Every structure is written in C-alpha cells, then in structure tokens.
Amino acid sequence: MADIGEMVQTGAVAVTDDGSPVHDAGMMRRALEYAGMFGITVISHAEDMSLSGKGVMNEGYESTRLGMHGIPPFSEEVCISRDIILCKYIGTPLHIAHVSTKGSVELIRQAKAAGVNVTAEATPHHFTLTDVEIGKEFSTNLKMNPPLRTQEDVDAIIEGLKDGTIDAIASDHAPHAPEEKEVEFDQAPNGIIGLETSLGLVATYLVKPGHLTWNEVARKMSAAPAKILRAPGGDLRAGAIADITIVNPKAAWTVKVDKFYSKSRNSPYDGWKLQGKVKYTILGGEVSFEG
Ligand SMILES: [Zn+2]
C-alpha cells in the first residue's frame, strides 16, 4: 500500500487502484480504513482480473462472433459488490470509477438506497458506444477498460445518470501515441482521450434528447466531482475559486482529431457531428482557453 498519510500531507485528495486493481479484499479493507483516518475518498477501478483473464472486449454475442477473448460484466460487478460491502462496514467514502454495466448501476442504486457512502461516475464512451462497433473496423480506439458493453448497458447508465445513481461524468482521458495504438486489437493498450469531446458528447447525447438538464450537467461534470474529491470548485458563489467553463449549447461542430489541442489522436469520435461546445475556460480567475 502507498504511504497514504504522507500523500495526503503533500496534497493528495483521494487514492485509487486505477490501472492495477486490488484483488485482495484484506488489502482493500486496510486501504479504506487508512483513507478513512485521513478523510479522503477511495476511488475503485472495480475489476476482478481472475474473471477478466485475457479479455480485450465485452464478453457476449459480439466477442463470440469475432472470436475474441471477453471481459464479462460480472468481472466489474463482483468487485463493486465487494467494495460496497466493505464500505458499508468501514464507512470511508467509496467512489466507483467508470461504471460500465447494467448490473453495476443496479448494485450502486441498491447500496445508495441502503445508505452506503458510495458515489459513482460514468464516461461518455460508455453511454455513446457499444461493442457492436468493434467488429466494423477493429479500430483500437474502441479498446478501453472497462470495455464498451451492449445497448442494454448504455440504456442503464443513462437511466442511472437520470435518477442520480451515477453522480458524475468523467472523461477517463487516456492519451496514447499513434504507434502504440497502431497494432492489432489484441496488442493495443487500453484507453482513449476524452477531454475535448466530453462536453459535446454530453450535450448531444444527454441534454439534446432530454435525459439531463444543463443544471444537472453542471452538477455532474463540476460540482459533484469537486464534492467527491473534497476539492474547491463547482461553485459560482461570491468568494468561490473562479475555475469556470462557459459553454455555447447551440454551437454545432464536427470532431476532427487532427484539430485537437491534445498531442494524442486516439479518439473513436473522428467525424462525429456534435452540438454544444466550450467557449471559454477560466482557471483561477484568468481565461486559459478560448474556443
Ligand atoms: Zn480504470
């Protein structure tokens, strides 16, 4: 385990096992206990690697059809169940990163109803894409972990965002150099960049169809993440830190990866037509980006 106390003293606002999931329940118990002493949240990348095995995409009809190793939905759900049960006894705030399955949404919904101190987030790719896309071109920009799931899962995540089960929307921004991704699907690293497309995808796929209001978007992309991390921000009251994003909700635009500010290009959204664009980003009271 990392030196949680020292990390908190030097400014850490949370701890996570993202990238290397904790398989030992006893270790997760101690991490929750220590984090609790310092009043910080534990962010769980919920995945049981013994169930994920050699999987590279969602386990189901598509993985069988394509002859690819699958990652079953219960690889995530088994781990979320474990962490929720530990959280129930220990009480340290637990945050579930990048929820991807219908079963996970249901587990978190039940835990919240039972008063467990759990929050959760979803990423734009898990509510805009499914595993059906993979077989079309085998683009490695569709390879992420947790993997893209099915339409049923996408619908459940949107429902979870609507009813408050899922508190936050996170980009899960994961840049990779082109040469890393330009390999066979099996060999490619996981992850896509999400920073520059997150607002547009949320506006087009959640606000436009009426799933979320702009106030709910502000909560899920700003106020809730700040609250989960106990970080300043997400607040427009006088005296609050002036980290503000100003959005033009009507601006129509086409995603062009070669126009990204990011040096990375690993996005599956090239050519997508979106509505809703960031106009200004204000950081610490100064305009840091003008779109
Ligand atoms: Zn992760």
Give Cβ neighbours of residue 278 (< 8 Å, ≥ 6 apart): 199, 245, 246, 247, 248, 289, 291
Is 31 part of any domain? Answer: yes
Contact of 140 with 195, CB cutoff 8 Å: no
Residue 19 has pLDDT above 90, yes or no: no
Is 51 part of any domain? Answer: yes
Task: Please give the pLDDT value at position 228.
Answer: 96
C-alpha dist (Å) from residue 66 to 59, 75, 134, 148, 189 = 11, 20, 9, 15, 19
Active-site annotation holder among 17, 48, 153, 172: 172
Burial class of residue 169 in the structure, from the number of CB atoms within 10 Å of its CB (0-12 exposed, 13-18 middle, 19+ buried)? buried
Span from the CA of 169 to the centroid of ligand 1 (angstroms) = 14
Is 79 part of any domain? Answer: yes
Residue 45 has pLDDT above 90, yes or no: yes
Is there a cis peptide before residue 232, judged by omega within 30 degrees of 0? Answer: no
Residue 196 has pLDDT above 90, yes or no: yes
Cα–Cα distance measured from residue 137 to residue 34, given in angstroms and rounded to the nearest whole number:
46
Is 284 part of any domain? Answer: no
Span from the CA of 44 to the centroid of ligand 1 (angstroms) = 8
Mean pLDDT, the chain, rounded, equals 96
Span from the CA of 192 to the centroid of ligand 1 (angstroms) = 12
Is 135 part of any domain? Answer: yes
Residue 291 has pLDDT above 90, yes or no: no
Cα–Cα distance measured from residue 138 to residue 140, given in angstroms and rounded to the nearest whole number:
6
**Mean pLDDT lowest for which of 1-5, 64-68, 159-163?**
1-5
Joined tokens for residue 232: 């300043």
Cα–Cα distance measured from residue 8 to residue 49, given in angstroms and rounded to the nearest whole number:
28
Read off the pLDDT band of 107 (50, 70, 90).
very high
Task: Please give the pLDDT value at position 232.
Answer: 87
Output the pTM of the full model. 0.96
Give Cβ neighbours of residue 210 (< 8 Å, ≥ 6 apart): none
Instruction: Provide, rounded to the nearest whole percent, the portion of the chain with pLDDT above 70.
Output: 100
Span from the CA of 146 to the centroid of ligand 1 (angstroms) = 7
Is 114 part of any domain? Answer: yes
Average pLDDT over residues 170-177: 95
Is 90 part of any domain? Answer: yes
What is the total count of domains within the chain? Answer: 1
CATH label of the domain that carries residue 133: 3.20.20.140
The SS3 call for residue 41 is: strand
Span from the CA of 202 to the centroid of ligand 1 (angstroms) = 20
Task: Please give the pLDDT value at position 286.
Answer: 95
Average pLDDT over residues 15-26: 95
Read off the pLDDT band of 236 (50, 70, 90).
very high
Joined tokens for residue 160: 């979870």
Residue 128 has pLDDT above 90, yes or no: yes
DSSP string, 54-99: T--EESSHHHHHHT--EE-HHHHHHHHHHHHHHHHHH---EEE-S-
Is 261 part of any domain? Answer: no
Domain range for 114: 4-236
Strands (E) across 124-219 are located at: 168-169
Q: Is 243 a catalytic residue?
A: no
